Structure 1
Amino acid sequence: MSDSNAPDHLAAKHERNREQRIAGIKRWVEYITSEPPETWGPQQNAVVNDQLEAAQSVETSASHHQHVKTVAKDILEENDSDDESS
């Protein structure tokens, strides 16, 4: 059995995920434009707070934190050098 169609299957899955995210964003925009901030504000805060809590509860090593910082620094330096050469 060949995996030759695996990249196509993965691309289709990514496209479906993208479409679902866009549809969710559109529903949220519709909701917040039809409701007062007093209604949706606490809901949005709860979602953001839960995401922050989940991110903080992930235990990663100090070496992983350092690796992420190094990669981020490298990316920023690369972007800066690209901007300077433009």
Structure 2
Amino acid sequence: MSDSNAREHLDAKHERNREQRIEGIKRWVKYIESEPPETWGPQQNAVVNDQLDAAKSVRTSAAHQQHVKDVAAEIIEVRDGSNDNDSN
């Protein structure tokens, strides 16, 4: 397999993975729209907690850890800002 074929194969694989992630997100959105937060909230918390535990078991640099904290803070800020707009 030439380098260009390998790159095309990898690009195609990444695109398939991306499409699968998007479809999974769409299914999750439909689910949370059809179920009360009391049902899906604990499920979501369990997934997030497992991901955090897995991330903690991997050694990461201080810079990467700070980047993750910064992104999380931005997400919370956007979320809280959108909640403020919903009440107006």
Regarding TM over 0.5, the answer is yes
Match of 1:18 in 2: 18
Structure whose alpha-carbon radius of gyration is higher: 1
Which residues in structure 2 correspond to 1:40-79 (within 5 Å)?
40-60=40-60, 64-65=61-62, 68=64
1:59 deviation in Å? 3.2
Tell me the C-alpha RMSD between the 2 structures: 2.1
Which whole-Å CA distance do the structure 2 matches of 1:47 and 1:2 have between them? 40
Which whole-Å CA distance do the structure 1 matches of 2:4 and 2:55 have between them? 36
1:13 deviation in Å? 0.5
Match of 1:36 in 2: 36
SS at match of 2:3: coil
1:10 deviation in Å? 0.8
User: Under a length normalisation based on structure 2, what TM-score does the superposition of the two structures give?
Assistant: 0.66
How many residues of Structure 1 are paired with residues of Structure 2 in the alignment?
Answer: 67
Read off the aligned partner of 1:14 and give its amino acid letter: H
User: Under a length normalisation based on structure 1, what TM-score does the superposition of the two structures give?
Assistant: 0.67
- Deviating runs (4+, > 3 A) in structure 1? none
